[in-house]
Amino acid sequence: MLLILRLLVFGALGFMAEGRGPRIAASRRILSAGSSFVPSGLRGLGVGGVDGMSHTKALKRCCRTYCSPSLFILDRDGVINVDRGTWVLRVEDFEMIPGAAEAIGRITTSKKGARIAIATNQSCVGRGMITQDDLRDIHQHMLGQIERAGGRIDSIHVAPDTPDQASERRKPAPGMLTEALDRHGVDRHSAVMIGDTMGDMLAATRAGIPNRLLVCTGHGHQRGLEAHGKGLKLPLRIDSASEQKLGIDERVLPVWLCSDVVGAVDLALTLKL
C-alpha cells in the first residue's frame, strides 16, 4: 500500500510538471516516435520488477493503472485543416478550419495532463508527391498556429502508405491509434477519436476506443447537410437503435455526430473518461 501511495503522489507530480512543460518548438521533436513513455514523477523511485516484469514495464503498468491521463486523437485533413479534395503539398495549401486551433488550445488549458495526438493518412508521401521534409515543414506551420492559440500537439503519427500497399498503420487499420495509446501510456477507454470519415471511426473501433466523435466537416460535410435537412440537432448520439443513422456504418456505432472539431472538443471535454 505504501508503494502504491508513493507511485500515486510522485506520478501525479510528474504529470503536473510535464503538463506545464515548454511548448514543442518544432515538428522534428514530435515526430521522433519513442515506444516507451514513463512520466518523470515515476522515474528513479528505486521500485523493483513486479511478477517477473522488468523495472520499466512495472513502472509503465503502475502509470497506466493509477496515473493514466486521457488522450485526444485527431485526424488532420477535414478536422484540423480544410479538406479541398486534394493533397496538401505545400505550406501555402494548409488552411486551418476556423476555431480548430483554439479548440485544441481549450483541451490544453481545460484538461491538465491530457495528451493530444494527430493520426493522419498521407499517401502523397508514398506516391512521391512530397518528401518527409516537406511534410515536416507543413506540420511545423500547423504547430505554430496551434501554439499561438495556446495549444500543443504531443505526437503526430503519419501513415505514408498508398491504399494498394496499406500497412496496419494506415486507417481504417488501427495501427497509428494503438501506437498513440502505447506511446502515451493511456488505456483505450480513456481515449477519444475525432475524425471526419468512416475510416477514422473504423480505426477507433478496431483499436477498442469507445469514444468516437464524427464531425460534419471535410468528408462529413454532406452528412451534416442531411442532418440539418432532417431537423436534427447536433451533437447527436447515434447507435443501433437510432431511427436516423445518416449512412453511418453499423460497425462503428455508437458514435457522436458533431458539427465540427469545435463542437467535438466541447462535447469531449464533458465526457467522463
Q: Annotated catalytic sites, by residue?
A: 75, 77
Between the CA of residue 129 and those of 37, 112, 118, 199, what are the distances in Å?
A: 33, 38, 21, 23
Q: How far is it, in rounded angstroms, from Cα 182 to Cα 185?
A: 5
Of all residues in the chain, what percent are helix, strand and coil, respectively (each to 5)?
45, 15, 40
At 217 the three-state DSSP class reads coil
CA geometry: angle 123, 125, 131, nearest 5 deg: 165
Positive/negative CA dihedral, 78, 84, 86, 90? negative
Cβ neighbours, 10 Å, residue 105: 18
Which three cell numbers mark 221? 460535410
**In the numeric block, which cell numbers belong to residue 76?**
488532420
CA distance 13 to 10: 5
Q: How many CB atoms lie within 10 A of CB 190?
A: 20
